[in-house]
């Protein structure tokens, strides 16, 4: 079983995790806070630490400024410092293809892969909001089709740059004075719709060949891209009931089934549903902790988050009635996957209050360590998951609980490692090191 | 006296430093190599570690690919990992304003400043070559005027983003649920010729207010920008003779004299001439080491470097005659400062061979520790320097020698610190923490 430790917000899995009595919001800009967390994840033998990101302060509503956890250290900067403080755990940086240049990103990820001895991963996202566009010289966010087209080309160029040095291109021969073998250094000379990049990269090919490619999109375009390229997919989960299991099995089969047409094996991609365990030593304690976690978000903030995901302000509608309209997903230009999840709830007749409570408190699973391990084992064994991307009601306490209570239970059942056996993240995940496109041509 | 430890190329101050018998080119992509170097600089009480950068492989000539030190870890990624391995030394990242976005750079530098507890600096450059342009979707490099205009606006926007959170804007009040004080969070809403950036930044104001601003340009536009904004200037030196001292005194006075019109004090800017000491225990050993260092660059590579800086291939001209033409600096779009240095040598009647030897082996000063300290002390006391940006014939050995032999000599003379007394880089340099533009408005 593959396990990712997810930092969705720096204080935990929820926008209001920072308010948890055991959270430490004073640490959000302090290296030791993050070091402690990622070292705990490493003690728990997690495959990777997964750091989410956005490129703006969510200030569409006043509640976002007043109440939301709106500061985030920049991913590459943070993960590189953490590489120096860890030895085994993979480090996944969320980086947008919409507001970056492939040469910079190829170089940063290659550098992180070197500095960490092969532990870098890239969570490819396309960003979501007009607010982000306005921080990068545009008025509006790129439309869905265009940003996926750009994302595909971005990943192509980046991987091309990683291949620009063959694995044995560096000679470093002091005596003869030959630093590199010119026949093994290649220009990319890419000219596409979105990018023109000549190359070569000024960092040699990364230890992993390519840093591991992570993705989360579950739209049609997102699934096609994942089947073609992704090595880890972070999947959203509607619930941990039998119905949720069935939906995840269906998603799992759908995605793995698409891989053959891209010449890939099912094992080349690990599907990790999200899970936010709320752990109690007893069921009652778990229920109490769940209630505490769900009480942290002020109602106005919850309502505004719902308005955000619906793409329109719904705060003037009656709280205890169903919404009197159903947003059009085709006209929508934020995450279609998130909107689809909300539409399913609208179709079930939830009231506005029920809706925002569900949207705010997503993916949590309250129970004893055994109950949580039961669900994880069942989903893993029944073809719904290759592992999980675990988030936490608050940090560092929620992670401490998981590592101290759930990980040993999974290890006892023989479904999770007791020691790291590999050296690189690819080795933890059982993924092949990709061949270099230019070396192949020579053979 | 302020001292910077400069890593011009990862293996040392010269393009062929990697060939030095005591260099360690196998370490160029290994974190421990850099960690060892920066920890040695910290042991030597250097104010800052200064990491140079370019955004391409210099492949204009075949010798560049075959012989030059053409790989460089990406600066922010490297320095952030080094922040985790050091406690006191400042960390200066070279970042181009021509091929970046201010929102990303403001965020990365703010993050580095937090993770290092106030030790981040930014060496602002505008890039130099068409090769770099071709890695970022353009055919030609921006012209000199345009790229300085862009650089000014870039720095403006970045500093505006650092001000977008007032210093006391974060409330982090779990009880009331208030994360931030909305009256102390500001949108930049910048709309300029080169950038449109709405803000605010999603990292709070850095510990230093603004990370320290470093600059190297010595063109007219570069000097004006430095006088207006820079806090550290890295200056090129023609020689360490009496003539070189005079030229540096003139540059020093020129630059400091320009500051008053921007409302700045002379002490708000530290001018650091470059120096590459070649240290021997005796004069003879120093001369031998100098000869060794100067023998490392193959003649063809030296000639090609000269051709690069002249903007045209001169390899077909006779080696032992002066160049039969003088390039036009007004039509030139790489570093005008470097070209001007070469033109001065051409005007002195140097042959082509002498020219490329001088261009390849720049800024070195061979002598005993006492002789090197003599020059440094003289320049410091005679108004030519506030300190030095020290580079090394090879790493880590050249730095080891400097820290073990020259630093104690400077300390004995009372011109250099024996312990760090400050906590942040600003404190090491004796620079004020800038006020927040929005906080000022309120008062």
pLDDT tens column, B220-250: 888 999 999 999 999 989 889 999 999 999 9
Q: Would you call A173 helix, strand, or coil by DSSP?
A: strand
How far apart (Å, rounded) are the C-alpha atoms in residues A396 and A28?
Answer: 11
Task: Determine whether the interchain pair A71/B195 forms a contact, defined as Cβ–Cβ distance below 8 Å.
Answer: no
The closest CB to that of B19, out of A103, A137, A174, belongs to A174
Residue A439 has pLDDT above 70, yes or no: yes
pLDDT score of B362: 65
Reported in sequence order, the residue ranges of A311-367 that DSSP labels E, i.e. its strands, are: 364-367
pLDDT at A27 over 60: yes
Note the pTM of the prediction, 2 decimals: 0.97
CB < 8 Å from A in window 68-127 of B: 68-74, 76-78, 80-85, 99-101, 103-104, 107-108, 110-112, 114-117
Give the number of other Cβ atoms within 10 Å of residue A349's Cβ: 9
Q: Which residues lie closer than 8 Å to B259 by C-beta, 6 or more apart?
A: B227, B265, B266, B268, B269
Kindly state the average pLDDT of the residues B35-43: 98
pLDDT of residue B441 exceeding 70: no
pLDDT in tens, B165-181: 999 999 999 999 999 99
Checking ipTM against 0.85, whether it exceeds it is: yes
The answer for B 13-42 residues in CB contact with A (under 8 A) is 16, 18-21, 23, 25-26, 28-31, 35
Q: Which CATH superfamily is domain A2-294+363-442 in?
A: Luciferase-like domain (3.20.20.30)
Ranges A217-231, A258-272, A388-402: which has the least confidence: A217-231
A65 to B178: CB separation less than 8 angstroms, yes or no: no
Taking the Cβ of residue B199 and every Cβ of chain A, the question of whether any pair is shorter than 8 Å is answered with yes
> Does A172 sit within 8 Å of B71, measured CB to CB?
no
The Cα–Cα gap between B87 and A112 comes to: 21
Query: Which residue of A lies nearest to B54 if distances are taken between CA atoms?
Result: A202
Please indicate whether residue B327 or residue B388 has the higher confidence score (pLDDT): B388
With an 8 Å Cβ cutoff, is B399 touching chain A? Answer: no
Task: Look at the alpha carbons of A111, A116, A118, A122 in this order and tell me if their dihedral is positive or negative.
Answer: negative
Find the angle CA(B60)-CA(B63)-CA(B65) to the nearest 5 degrees: 70
- With cut-offs at 50, 70 and 90, classify the pLDDT of residue B442: low
Q: What is the mean pLDDT of residues B53-57?
A: 97
Contact A135 B199 (CB under 8 A): yes
Nearest to B103 among A77, A114, A135 (CB): A135
C-alpha A88/C-alpha A71 separation (Å) is: 27
A61: chain B residues, CB-CB within 8 Å: none
Distance CA B231, CA B243 (A): 26
| Any A CB within 8 A of B176 CB | no
125-164 in A: which are within 8 Å (CB) of B?
A: 131, 134-138
State whether residue B284 sits within 8 Å of chain A by CB: no
Task: For residue range B143-167, list pLDDT tens digits in order.
Answer: 888 999 999 999 999 999 999 999 9
Give yes or no for a contact between A13 and A390, defined as CB atoms under 8 angstroms apart: no
Cα–Cα distance measured from residue B29 to residue A202, given in angstroms and rounded to the nearest whole number: 11
For chains A and B, what is the number of CB pairs under 8 angstroms? 220
Taking an 8 Å cut-off on Cβ atoms, the answer to whether B204 and A112 are in contact is: no
Question: Model confidence over B393-409: pLDDT tens digits?
Answer: 999 999 999 999 999 99
Q: B201 CB near a chain A CB, below 8 Å?
A: yes
* Domain boundaries along the sequence of chain A: 2-294+363-442, 298-360
Please give the mean pLDDT across all residues of chain A.
Answer: 95
Q: Do B76 and A73 touch (CB under 8 A)?
A: no
In the block, which residue shows the tokens 């505490």?
A: A292
Asked if B79 and B112 count as a contact pair (C-beta separation under 8 A), the reply is yes
Cβ-based contacts of A394 with chain B (< 8 Å): none
Q: What is the CATH topology of the domain spanning B2-290+363-442?
A: TIM Barrel (3.20.20)
Chain A CB contacts of B71 under 8 Å are 170, 202-204
Name the residue with higher pLDDT: A264 or B239: A264
> What pLDDT, on the 0 to 100 scale, is given for residue A440?
66
d(CA B91, CA B96): 16
């Amino acid at each position: 079983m593959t396990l990712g430790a997810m930092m969705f917000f720096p204080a935990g899995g929820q926008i209001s995790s920072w308010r948890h009595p055991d959270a430490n919001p004073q640490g959000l800009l302090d290296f030791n806070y993050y070091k402690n967390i990622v070292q705990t994840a490493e003690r728990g033998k997690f495959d990777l630490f997964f750091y989410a990101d956005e490129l703006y302060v969510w200030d569409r509503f006043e509640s976002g400024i007043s109440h939301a956890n709106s500061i985030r250290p920049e991913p590459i900067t943070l993960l590189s410092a953490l590489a120096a403080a860890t030895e085994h755990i993979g480090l996944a940086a969320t980086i947008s293809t919409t507001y970056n240049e492939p040469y910079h990103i190829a170089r940063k990820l290659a550098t992180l892969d070197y500095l960490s001895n092969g532990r870098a991963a890239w969570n490819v996202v396309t960003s979501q909001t007009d607010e982000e566009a306005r921080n990068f010289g545009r008025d509006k966010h790129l439309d869905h089709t265009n940003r996926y087209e750009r994302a595909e080309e971005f990943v192509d160029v980046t991987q091309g740059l990683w291949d620009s040095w063959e694995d044995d291109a560096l000679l470093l021969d002091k005596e003869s004075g030959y630093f590199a073998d010119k026949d093994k250094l290649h220009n990319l000379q890419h000219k596409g719709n979105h990018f023109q990049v000549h190359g070569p990269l000024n960092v040699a090919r990364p230890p992993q060949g390519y840093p591991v490619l992570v993705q989360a999109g579950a739209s049609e375009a997102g699934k096609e891209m994942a089947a073609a390229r992704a090595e880890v997919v972070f999947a959203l989960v509607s619930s941990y009931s039998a119905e949720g299991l069935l939906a995840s099995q269906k998603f799992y089969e759908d995605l793995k089934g698409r891989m053959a047409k891209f010449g890939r094996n099912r094992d080349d991609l690990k599907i990790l549903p999200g899970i936010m365990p709320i752990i109690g030593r007893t069921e009652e304690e778990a229920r109490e902790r769940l209630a505490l976690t769900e009480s942290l978000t002020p109602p106005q903030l919850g309502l505004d988050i719902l308005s955000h995901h619906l793409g329109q302000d719904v705060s003037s509608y009656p709280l205890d009635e169903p919404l009197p309209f159903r947003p059009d997903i085709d006209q929508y230009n934020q995450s279609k996957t998130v909107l689809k999840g909300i539409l399913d709830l609208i179709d079930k007749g939830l009231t506005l209050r029920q809706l925002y409570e569900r949207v705010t408190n997503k993916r949590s699973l309250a129970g004893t360590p055994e109950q949580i391990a039961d669900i994880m084992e069942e989903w893993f064994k029944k073809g719904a998951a290759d592992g999980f991307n675990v988030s936490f009601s608050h940090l560092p306490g929620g992670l401490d609980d998981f590592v101290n209570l759930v990980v040993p239970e999974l290890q006892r059942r023989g479904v999770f490692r007791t020691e790291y056996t590999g050296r690189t993240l690819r080795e933890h995940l059982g993924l092949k090191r990709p061949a270099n496109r230019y070396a192949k041509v020579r053979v």
